A and B are shown apart, each in its own frame.
Chain A
Amino acid sequence: MSVVLLLGISWLVSGCGGEGQTESLKEAVYGSPEAQISMEKPTTSELYSGAALSIAPEVNPVPNAKVHEVRLDVTHSEIQVTEGVKFVAWTFGGTLPGPVLHVRQGDRVRFTMTNRSDQTVSFSPPTPHSIDFHAAMVNPADKYREVIPGATIKFEWVANYPGVFMYHCGSPAILQHMIYGMIGMTIVEPKNGYPTKVDREFALVQSELYLTKMKSGMYLVDMEAAKQKKATYVTFNGIPKQYVDKPLQAKPGERVRIYILNAGPNGTSSFHVVGTLFDKAWFDGNPQNEQRGLQTVILGSSNGAIVEFVIPEAGTYTFVDHEFADVELGAVGQIVAKSEAIASK
């Protein structure tokens, strides 16, 4: 009886991540050189660079390197949300959401960011910005400090934990910077890869937009609506219903992995794919946080997950935030599964 009890306790401890956690922490790297801020100008007009970056829903494989040079510049630019709806967004790398950063556990990220908001003064006042990587363990007062327009920050961090993490601007008012579009996803692959093989991968960032239409026809970011959590749109990868108009593609029988991040900033996401079940769901994208046979994963603001499922047969598989008010605001897309070959990108 007592042996069974001991075994049970031992299983519980290891099952709760005791052993794995210790192993992770043993290899964790804490501390990194002080961030450097200068008035150094970027030598390229590219707003982002680095083999570890891709634009969602695409996910580039992790480059075969232990150190990743990554540049994500901040820019103010006009983004078309839907027909007739444009607004001046603030973005990392010129895209909404910012590019997906994909590295492996234990890798070092050498990060550079220039605040280029001084280059778009004709339509948007230059504004201080910063970046907060949830995947990093660093001193926020140093690495996440504000960068004035025209300045460049450089710092390093090591990806200690596997997962699907958020990055965002941390300048006050943070809510305002986030609803302007300063959000993105970091994927940290486990050191020895995932325990499963998949045929297809997609990255989806769910986020809300809060806009108000002026008499002139232009749209402005609506801070009051954001404070009251009254979203104008809820999107996957920045545009409402874009994957209904241009569905993602897969083939029957394929195993699909979706990296899903709820960037919020205010709402939760009840992510669900109609017509299949999540064979595996790893909360916050860490395989140690495994759940099986789920219909829905619920993600608070900034939570991520990896969900894997099989496309059971040819058909159209609609993915939604199952909080259906959000579907009406745009949080819906489709995966079309056909047997014929899928056109390459």
Chain B
Amino acid sequence: MRKFSSIFILMILPCLVWGNTSLNAPPKQVRSFSPGTKGTVLIFVSSLCPCTDAHRIMVENLMTRMPASGFKFYAVFSNKGETTELIEYFYRTIGWQMPYILDSSGTLQKKYKATHTPQAFVISPQNKVLYRGPIDDSNLNQGRVDNPYLKNALEDLLAGRAVKASEVAGTGCWIVRSISSKELK
């Protein structure tokens, strides 16, 4: 019996170690994104904006399904004042595993004209913006998703179709950079 227990523990040990390492490991910071074969999903977020929390499950589900389909996911932190410590705290609370880019210079924010957090962009391998807008509308409906904008966009692309709703008005916190109020409306 003891022998059996030892074998069992040895069998599950790698899973336990891997699991804990995976959950507790700090998020991976990258300098820039490398495009997925089908495209790249950039999600602009802020460690101090509460609006992302409403979409955590949706993003988790997409991250489980989509990378195998050729999409890569990155979080982008473009707000002034973001630090590694704040970002790591954000990741611990949100539970995401995607690598992140600390966009201190605002290069990506300016390039893609990101205005809100959270705001998702789907970029083609040829660097064309195929979707720009919210992850979904759950923040407007007490958590009920009526319009899974990002999911719809990715499914359209996987089906070889043009994205039906390729641009949706942003909601959430503002990205604090030199954005004109005109852009934000």
Contacts and interface: CB of A to CB of B under 8 A. Distances in A.
Given A148-B184, A173-B54, A223-B53, A125 B171 contact: no
A198 interface: no
Contact of B85 (A88, A150, A215): A215
Nearest to A215: B85
A128 B174 CA distance: 9
Interface in A183-220: 212, 214-216, 220
A220 B50 CA distance: 12
B58 interface: no
A319 B115 CA distance: 48
Contacts of A313: none
Contacts, number: 66
How big is chain B's contact interface, by range? 20 to 34
A215 to B, nearest CB: 6
Given A214-B86, A216-B83, A125 B175 contact: yes
A216 B184 CA distance: 32
Secondary structure at chain A's binding surface: helix, strand, loop or mixed? loop
A126 B53 CA distance: 16
B50 A223 contact: yes
Interface in A224-244: 224
Contact of B46 (A125, A149, A180, A214): A125
B180 to A, nearest CB: 12
B137 to A, nearest CB: 11
Contact of A172 (B54, B81, B185): B54
A251 interface: no
Interface string B54-98: 100000000000000000000000011101011001001100000
Contacts of A216: 83, 85
A88 B48 CA distance: 10
Interface in B130-171: 139-140, 142-143, 171
Contact of A177 (B46, B48, B50): B50
A126 B50 contact: no
Nearest to B46: A125
Contacts of A214: 85-86, 89
A149 B174 contact: yes
A128 to B, nearest CB: 7
Contacts of A122: 80-81
Contacts of A150: 181
A42 B176 CA distance: 21
A148 B46 CA distance: 17
Contact of B117 (A39, A125, A176): A125
Given A172-B139, A172-B142, A214-B85, A124 B48 contact: yes
Nearest to A224: B93
Interface residues of A, number: 26
Contacts of B46: 125
Nearest to A220: B89
A173 B93 contact: no
A293 B64 CA distance: 60
B136 to A, nearest CB: 12
Contacts of B171: 128
Nearest to B142: A172
B176 A172 contact: no
B181 A172 contact: no
A180 to B, nearest CB: 8
B95 to A, nearest CB: 10
Contacts of A123: 81
Contacts of B51: 127-128, 172
Nearest to B54: A172
Interface of A: 39, 88, 118, 121-128, 148-150, 172-173, 176-177, 180, 212, 214-216, 220, 223-224
20 contacts: A118-B174, A121-B174, A122-B80, A124-B48, A125-B46, A125-B79, A125-B173, A126-B173, A127-B49, A127-B172, A127-B173, A128-B173, A149-B174, A172-B140, A173-B54, A177-B50, A180-B50, A212-B89, A220-B86, A220-B89
